Chains A and B, each alone.
Chain A
Amino acid sequence: AQTVTQSQPEMSVQEAETVTLSCTYDTSESNYYLFWYKQPPSRQMILVIRQEAYKQQNATENRFSVNFQKAAKSFSLKISDSQLGDTAMYFCAFEQGAQKLVFGQGTRLTINP
Chain B
Amino acid sequence: NAGVTQTPKFRVLKTGQSMTLLCAQDMNHEYMYWYRQDPGMGLRLIHYSVGEGTTAKGEVPDGYNVSRLKKQNFLLGLESAAPSQTSVYFCASSSGISYGYTFGSGTRLTVV
List chain A positions with a Cβ less than 8 A from chain B.
4, 6, 9, 33, 35, 37, 42-45, 47, 50, 52, 91, 93, 95, 98-106
Contacts and interface: CB of A to CB of B under 8 A. Distances in A.
Contacts of A104: 42
Interface stretch (B16-24, B64-72, B73-81, B100-108): B100-108
B105 A95 contact: no
Contacts of B99: 50
Q: Closest 6 A-B residue pairs measured CB to CB?
A: A45-B103, A103-B42, A103-B43, A105-B42, A99-B97, A43-B106
Given A43-B106, A44-B103, A100-B48, A91 B42 contact: yes
B105 A98 contact: no
Contacts of A102: 45, 59
Contacts of B88: 43
A95 B41 CA distance: 17
